[in-house]
Amino acid sequence: MSLSQQIAQFIASGIINGTIYALLGLGLVAIHSVTRVVNVAQGEFAAFGALLAVSLMAAGLPLPVSLVAAVAAAALLGGGIHRAAIRPVRNATPLVLLIITIAVHLALKGVLLLLWGTDPYTLRPFTVGPPIRILSAVLTRQSLWVISVTAVALIVLYLFFTKTIRGKSLRACAVNPTAARLVGIRVEWMGTLAWTIAGGLGGLAGVLITPLTLATYDMGLILGLKGFVGAVVVGMASYPWTVVACILFGIVESLGTGLISSNYRDAIAFGALIVVLLWRAIATLRVGWIVSEEVAQE
Amino acid sequence: MTQRLWLLGFIVVLIITPALVTGRVSLSIFIFVGLFSLIVIGLTLLAGHAGQVSLGQAAFYGIGAYISAITTLRLGLPPVLGVMLAVTGAAFIAYLIGAPIFFLRGHFLVLGTLGLNIVVDVVIRNVQGLTGGPTGLTGIPPLSVGRTIIAGDRAYYYLIWTLVLVALWLGRNLIHSRIGRALAAIRASEVAAATLGINPAFYKARMLALSAAFAGLAGALYVHYLGFVSPSPFAFNFSIDLLVMSVLGGIAYLPGAVLGTAVLTVLREVLRTIMPRLLGTGASAEYEIVVFGLLLALVVVLAPGGIWHWLAAVLRLDAGESLSAVSPLPPPGRRVGESGATLLRVEKLQKRFGGILAVRGLSFEVKQGEIYAIIGPNGAGKTTAFNLISGVLRPTSGEIVLRDRIITHLHPYDIAGLGVARTFQTPQVFSDFTVLNNVMMGLHRSLRTGFLGAMFGLGRREDARAASEAAGYLERVGMLDRAMDRAGALPFGAQRLLELSRALATQPALLLLDEPASGLSTTERRELVHLIRQIRESGVTVLLVEHDVSLVMGLADRVLVLNYGEQIAEGTPALVRADPRVIGAYLGDDEVAS
């Protein structure tokens, strides 16, 4: 393979990975914007969805049913965590909420370990067939599934946020919870809804990626963190830009890994995270001390 | 005094422990509890007092370990120097990361340090030439001072536990100093702290560096104690263990750090004996995380104070400050200002929030020594203008000049440093502080004790003097009898007065009062007017935003009227009162207004 072919291949696989990160990043943005929580347990939704889909398939359910059920279960898990662990202490400081999501991350990882053990699992690709050549990159059919399913999910999400009253309420809560409460929006339910959406998106990421890699009980943290990189580049605020940032991050990671060394894959990814945080910080300094308008609204 | 007794008892137990345990394994557990305690003390200072969580303490521990191992083994440096390099190296790396990240004002440190932990782990494993890769390094020399070699479990036991006690002492001094008060103020209200001249990022970054220094020290001691080092103890999982230790012991309590470390280390040993019997030998070590996760969740939700909080209640260890009587010092005399010179100039100030222009083209000048008022109906952009002047918000365009200095793009703490103090529409007192300590926060900038001095307990005399000065400010507003009350328990009007005293304690040239009369009773209003006049007499220029027109008209030298972000009139109260556009804005008469 020539270098240009290699690079095309790296970029292609970077886009696929980036798409997965985007699903996780969107969930993080949804949770952060509505409940102001940085959810360390975001990746566990992916691990849970993936492992559940594998088990449902093994139990004899057809693939589409398994996938849908796994994603739905992950969504319920997300909403359930909000009701069980976040809502009861919603007046706690951000520090306590953060520690709770770390605890949730550990507990979920532990439960996954108890249920599925340390073995890696795989899921068969959604459709069989030879890989497809696009330009000089070779893509598996599953890769195309990843991209197209994500695209559909994004369109649904866009329509939800712009066309439905629920979606608009959710955005209202993100902008100003107090004002949202005053116009009769049940902010706490919106929090549960945001966590449910985040759970579903995480589960979707899990079932989409499993045929390409493998599903293990501890796959979540790294995936979730990579979604976080993309989300924080754009300030944990914008859904569409989170997607763009995650895909770009996927490409950078893939090129870095391919051209330097695969041993350094996570070091490159999280080195990028630190660089991004520093870059955001410097940008913040330029714009002003307080980016949000919390004080202006007092 | 019971506290001293308990501490003495603890030290005695520490001293005789090696004589009581037999066999190498047992004492090494005590050594590890000590080592981990050092790291957790740092984490508790960071999380409990700077309010920031790090999931990278294992990385700083590892950085310290490898710096000391590599410099002594490969460069042949004396181990003591290696330890010092380890401490400063870990602190330096932490500071480099923390200083910028803390400007993000959220909980981004947790992800940044988590990322760092993974990067450090990968780098240690892969830069084999330097670190020995996964197998690590062996033959690291033990610590030595001159010709005395420190070797053996007992020597390290006493060394490490002495350092733990020193770390506790340093941490305790720090918490009870000017620095500790500033950290508590930042946790209570970052905005209020910043307008008193405190840069939150500066303090948090130094606390992160301090916590990394403790972790680096533990790492260096670890390698010289064992004589070898490999990457596995420094992985991300250990950072989580450390956080669990800190939360379990009580995140706000330094003794809790030692307690939590001891409990969790013992618990882990117990789990490692029990788990394989219950679940088979397979992945039993992995099941620890389930237990730790649940433990963390339970403690945070059910007993956020941790074990120490509970224990302190049972043993009646009262952490309450015993404050001796404070004799108030009169506030310093009036400063001589050139009356009539321009103190503040605001030019074509604009602020846009999304589609709304909250302040449009605001221009005015405040002269030295006057009382200048901005009035206007709700939503006129008064508070936004204040936020812009005090640096809390940054204008979309326009210029703000204080004396001859452009302050448009300065941070609130820098603007405070130039002599601008402010109050808030909703009083931002530090609720958990005493009234006296609130006012002492106003004096913060005039005190000099730094981080190191504070850690070694210097600056107590300075603090005592500051307390007297603060009492002086309280006396001036008639609140001296409440000096030891909790600020959050004060009635609304008293909180306003307290906030005002705190602002005055910064000795401002310009005092910004954001709706000082709102929520006050008629009597309180009268007192307020009197007080503001007094403040002006003492040489402070006053700029106030107010809703209450009659109060302003009787108090201000000049008045500016804002309506929907636009200024519609300026001048003496009499002049403004007669202006038809002002009448229009207040009575809603469109014809007059147009």
pLDDT in tens, B439-456: 999 999 989 889 999 999
Length of chain B: 594
Give per-residue pLDDT as tens, B159-174.
999 999 999 999 999 9
B216 has pLDDT over 90: yes
Q: How far is B551 from chain A (nearest CA, A)?
A: 22
Give per-residue pLDDT as tens, A52-75.
999 999 999 999 999 999 999 999
Confidence of residue B279 (pLDDT cuts 50, 70, 90): low
A4 has pLDDT over 80: yes
Contacts of A234 in chain B (CB under 8 A): none
CA distance B153 to B130: 28
Which tokens go with B193?
């702290």
- The residue-averaged pLDDT of B293-304 equals 82
A290 has pLDDT over 70: no
Q: How far is A136 from chain B (nearest CA, A)?
A: 32
pLDDT of A227: 92
Residue A70 dihedral angles phi and psi, to the nearest 5°: -65, -40
Contacts of B297 in chain A (CB under 8 A): 85, 100, 103-104, 107
pLDDT of B335: 58
B318 has pLDDT over 70: no
B457 has pLDDT over 50: yes
pLDDT of A295: 37
Site from A102, A171, A223, A265 to mutate, B interface, most B CB atoms within 10 angstroms: A102
B546 has pLDDT over 90: no
3-class DSSP assignment, residue B74? coil
Confidence of residue B23 (pLDDT cuts 50, 70, 90): low
Q: Are B504 and B335 in contact (CB under 8 A)?
A: no
pLDDT of A296: 36
Q: Are B183 and B203 in contact (CB under 8 A)?
A: yes
ipTM: 0.84
pLDDT of B65: 97
Confidence of residue B71 (pLDDT cuts 50, 70, 90): very high
B490 has pLDDT over 50: yes
Which tokens go with B434?
């005493």
- The residue-averaged pLDDT of B220-242 equals 92
Closest C-alpha to B242, from B203, B214, B202, B223: B214
- The residue-averaged pLDDT of B29-54 equals 94
More confident residue, B524 or A203: A203
Residue of B nearest to A91 (CA): B301
Residue of A nearest to B428 (CA): A298
pLDDT of B212: 97
A293 has pLDDT over 50: no
Phi-psi region of B394 (alpha: psi -120 to 50; beta: other; left: phi over 0): beta
Distances (CA, A) of B328 to B439, B452, B473, B541: 12, 29, 8, 25
pTM of the model: 0.89
- The residue-averaged pLDDT of B565-586 equals 83
pLDDT of B324: 55
User: Nearest CB to B393: which of A113, A284, A296?
Assistant: A296
Confidence of residue A16 (pLDDT cuts 50, 70, 90): very high
User: Tokens 């990278």, residue?
Assistant: B56
User: Nearest CB to B290: which of A107, A264, A291?
Assistant: A107
Q: Could you tell me if B97 lies within 8 Å of chain A, comparing CB atoms? A: yes
Site from A36, A38, A42, A99 to mutate, B interface, most B CB atoms within 10 angstroms: A99
Q: How far is A31 from chain B (nearest CA, A)?
A: 14
Q: Are B475 and B534 in contact (CB under 8 A)?
A: no
- The residue-averaged pLDDT of B508-516 equals 93
- The residue-averaged pLDDT of B343-363 equals 87
Residue A142 dihedral angles phi and psi, to the nearest 5°: -60, -35
- The residue-averaged pLDDT of A239-263 equals 89
Q: How far is A209 from chain B (nearest CA, A)?
A: 22
A7 has pLDDT over 70: yes
pLDDT of B590: 54
Phi-psi region of B398 (alpha: psi -120 to 50; beta: other; left: phi over 0): left
Q: Could you tell me if B416 lies within 8 Å of chain A, comparing CB atoms? A: no
CA angle (B376 as vertex; B375, B377 as ends), nearest 5: 140
Written in H, E and C, the secondary structure of chain A is CCHHHHHHHHHHHHHHHHHHHHHHHHHHHHHHHHHCCCCCCHHHHHHHHHHHHHHHHHCCCCHHHHHHHHHHHHHHHHHHHHHHHHHHHCCCCHHHHHHHHHHHHHHHHHHHHHHHCCCCECCCCCCCCCCEEECCEEECHHHHHHHHHHHHHHHHHHHHHHHCHHHHHHHHHHHCHHHHHHCCCCHHHHHHHHHHHHHHHHHHHHHHHCCCCCECCCCHHHHHHHHHHHHHHCCCCCHHHHHHHHHHHHHHHHHHHHHCCHHHHHHHHHHHHHHHHHHHHHHHHHHCCCCCCCCCCC
Confidence of residue B147 (pLDDT cuts 50, 70, 90): confident
pLDDT of A291: 42
Site from A31, A106, A108 to mutate, B interface, most B CB atoms within 10 angstroms: A106
Cβ-proximal residues to B472 (8 Å cutoff; 6+ apart), any chain: B328, B329, B330, B331
Q: Could you tell me if B122 lies within 8 Å of chain A, comparing CB atoms? A: yes
Residue of B nearest to A285 (CA): B103
More confident residue, B223 or B3: B223
CA distance A266 to B103: 26
pLDDT of B325: 58
pLDDT of B285: 61
3-class DSSP assignment, residue B33? helix
Q: How far is B446 from chain A (nearest CA, A)?
A: 23
Torsion of CA B103, B107, B112, B113, to 10 degrees: 120
pLDDT of B399: 93
B589 has pLDDT over 70: no
Confidence of residue B594 (pLDDT cuts 50, 70, 90): very low
CA distance A256 to A259: 5
Q: Are B285 and A112 in contact (CB under 8 A)?
A: no
Confidence of residue B286 (pLDDT cuts 50, 70, 90): low
Residue of B nearest to A291 (CA): B393
B24 has pLDDT over 60: no
Is there a contact between B282 and A117 if contact means CB atoms under 8 Å apart? yes
pLDDT averaged over chain B? 88
Is there a contact between A118 and B392 if contact means CB atoms under 8 Å apart? no
Closest C-alpha to B525, from B497, B564, B491, B485: B497
